[in-house]
Amino acid sequence: MARNFDPVQLGSIELFCKAAELANFTAAARVLGITPAAVSRSVGRLEARLGVRLFVRSTRLIRLTDDGEVYYEQCRQALQKIKDAEQAISGTQSKPSGLLRISTPTTYGHYRLLPLLPKFMAKYPDVTLELHISNRNIDFIEEGYDLAIRLGVAPDSRLIARKLEDVSLGVFASPSYLQKHGVPRDLKALEQHQCIQFVLPSTGRSMPWIFQQEGRNIDFNFTSRMRVQEDILGCVNYAKAGGGLFQIYHFIVKNEVERGELKEVLTDYAGRTRCFNLLYPQNRHLSTRVRCFVDFLINEIQR
């Protein structure tokens, strides 16, 4: 028999979703301005009504059960639709507000995105930002992210990609390394050098170095005694310490080059770029805060 919907239940669902997002009753209570006991009681009533356990509880944290994961995803989408409906009838010029969740790779986040965010926060004081900075691939639709910055093409046909910029690369090494091992003059010479590999978290494969020669694109694949995973800045610091050569985006090592800590080589073979895109779901009604952030970031990056 179908249960009648109790309007009070909507509040319990909102409490449940907040607890699921933060994986902590106390944190959810703090955000919502109520007591942890109130959150716990509300979730308990919801579990009793549904006849299932939504959380596995311990003294330090909570996590969703399998049933809880299914229920959370459906409830999250339903709450989002309610918010979208309110925004649709209140007009598109409503003041941007609420939580904006963004996923970004480490390097782009630290060197390109974060320096711009204080300006955005000052312009839109009612928006709260939650930034996920990691090279770990996430399904940001399923995990509730509004936007993601990614390298290359969109991995999912459900996503819209807005181009942010084409980023140039160069090969760099420390002066001490070049003094000891010599400066490579062509790509063949790389076989005699220590070339540092970065392993892509998404594939587990090493990222090839890319070059141009007389209008031809060249991908340089190699094996190395030194491989770094997850954080590409580990490659930069290893190169600074004299460990070898590494290909990296110019914007990341600009300060190191200006200070003389790194020197670019093989400039005759430079010229290729990699593209960073801003991604968001194509079938989701964009809230005012999302639209404002998309316009802001593209304008700031491409100005």
Q: What is the C-alpha radius of gyration for the chain, rounded to an integer number of angstroms? A: 24
Task: Kindly report the number of other CB atoms within 10 A of residue 300's CB atom.
Answer: 16
Please tell me the distance from the alpha carbon of residue 108 to that of residue 250, in angstroms, as a whole number. Answer: 12
Half-sphere exposure of 142 (CA within 13 A, CB side): 6
Q: Could you give the CA distance from residue 28 to residue 214 in angstroms, rounded to a whole number?
A: 59
Residue type (1 letter), 26: T
pLDDT at 9: 74
- Token pair, residue 165, equals 């910029």
Residue 5's pLDDT is 47
Q: Is the dihedral of CA 129, 134, 135, 140 positive or negative?
A: negative
pLDDT for res 2: 44
In order of their start, the domains of the chain are 7-83 (1.10.10.10), 98-163+275-302 (3.40.190.10), 166-273 (3.40.190.290)
Name which of 81, 87, 48 is nearest 16 in CA terms: 48
Distance, CA of 208 to CA of 226 (rounded, Å): 14
Q: Do the bridges between strand 159-173 and strand 246-249 make them parallel or antiparallel, or are there none, so unpaired?
A: antiparallel
C-alpha to C-alpha distance for 67 and 56, rounded to whole angstroms: 11
From CA 68, how far away is CA 197, in angstroms rounded?
Answer: 41
Say what the pLDDT of residue 154 is.
65
Query: What is residue 204's predicted lDDT score, i.e. its pLDDT?
Result: 80
The span from the CA of 193 to the CA of 190, in Å, is 5
Q: Is the separation of the CB atoms in 151 and 105 below 8 Å?
A: yes
Report the predicted TM-score, pTM, of the whole model to 2 decimal places: 0.68
| Residues listed for the chain | 303
Mapping DSSP onto H, E and C, the string for the chain reads CCCCCCHHHHHHHHHHHHHHHHCCHHHHHHHHCCCHHHHHHHHHHHHHHHCCCCEEECCCCEEECHHHHHHHHHHHHHHHHHHHHHHHHHCCCCCCCEEEEEEECHHHHHHHHHHHHHHHHHHCCCEEEEEEECCCCCCCCCCCCCEEEEECCCCCCCEEEEEEEEEEEEEEECHHHHHHHCCCCCHHHHHHCCECEEECCCCCCECCEEEEECCEEEEECCCCCCEEECCCHHHHHHHHCCCCEEEEEHHHHHHHHHCCCCEEECHHHCCCEEEEEEEEECCCCCCHHHHHHHHHHHHHHHC
Q: CA-CA distance, 277 to 297, in Å (whole number)? A: 11
Average pLDDT per consecutive 10 residues, the chain (303 residues; last block may be shorter): 54 89 87 86 90 85 90 87 68 74 92 96 94 78 81 74 94 97 95 93 85 92 90 93 96 96 96 92 75 94 88
